[in-house]
């Protein structure tokens, strides 16, 4: 487990057993929906935004609200949350906690980025309640360090940049998933992006969103700032 993975894993281990069970309980096998991780996910989503907003303001004192907003959007997005969950071993804990008759469906659910992201936010919500904001904040900053380190003020992600440049030329941008391969735990997706109806780039990644970002990055390299700006 890498340094980033230890953050959420540490929070999960510090929870009381009943709360820990709730964090890894899906609504499909919970005795009642309120006993699943969904309520904790709801709180964790808000807590994550507060923690990341504060950290971004600390790291980038000269950035305006616009830059801070898009950086936060990237850091707290589904892919970042899913990556943090995977690094902490949360999908495995989720599958291990499922009833025997639900093992197969739990394994399939654990491959979904939305479920992985929900698990990450549920851990954060549970820790906020049981361990307090200070301990939760430290672990979240550790867990989301790769995403926090990757965002740079003034540099939008490739999809946003491509969309903005294409919009200035009144061109539509569309993404098409063209394939996926590999076992569930190492699935690779391939997506192509069309700008103005023409294929402008193709990319692969560990999620559909990541493959779209890679395709947009290739399109930007091919189009060049002069063509689209």
The catalytic residues are 45, 121
Q: What is the DSSP letter of 184?
A: G
Closest-CA residue to 82 (of 209, 212, 213): 209
Strands, E, within 9-117: which ranges? none
Of the candidates 212, 208, 192, the one whose C-alpha atom is nearest the C-alpha of residue 200 is 192
Sheet holding 198-205, edge to edge: 173-181, 188-195, 198-205
Question: What are the distances in angstroms from CA 12 to CA 44, 147, 157?
Answer: 13, 21, 31
């Amino acid at each position: 487990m890498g340094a980033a993975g230890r953050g959420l894993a540490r929070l999960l281990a510090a929870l009381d057993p009943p709360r820990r069970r709730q964090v890894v309980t899906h609504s499909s096998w919970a005795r009642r929906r309120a006993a699943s991780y969904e309520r904790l996910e709801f709180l964790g989503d808000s807590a994550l935004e507060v923690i990341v907003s504060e950290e971004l303001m600390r790291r980038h004192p000269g950035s305006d609200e616009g830059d801070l907003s898009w950086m936060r959007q990237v850091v707290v997005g589904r892919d970042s949350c899913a990556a943090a969950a995977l690094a902490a071993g949360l999908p495995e804990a989720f599958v291990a906690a499922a009833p025997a008759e639900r093992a197969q469906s739990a394994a399939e659910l654990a491959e979904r980025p939305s479920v992985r992201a929900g698990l990450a936010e549920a851990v954060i919500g549970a820790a906020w309640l049981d361990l307090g904001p200070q301990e939760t904040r430290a672990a979240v900053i550790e867990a989301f360090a790769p995403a926090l380190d990757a965002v740079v003020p003034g540099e939008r992600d490739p999809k946003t940049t491509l969309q903005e440049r294409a919009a200035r030329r009144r061109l539509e941008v569309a993404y098409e998933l063209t394939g996926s391969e590999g076992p569930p735990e190492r699935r690779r997706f391939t997506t192509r992006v069309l700008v103005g109806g023409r294929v402008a780039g193709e990319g692969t990644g560990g999620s559909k969103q990541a493959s779209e970002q890679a395709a947009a990055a290739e399109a930007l390299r091919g189009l060049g700032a002069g063509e689209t700006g």
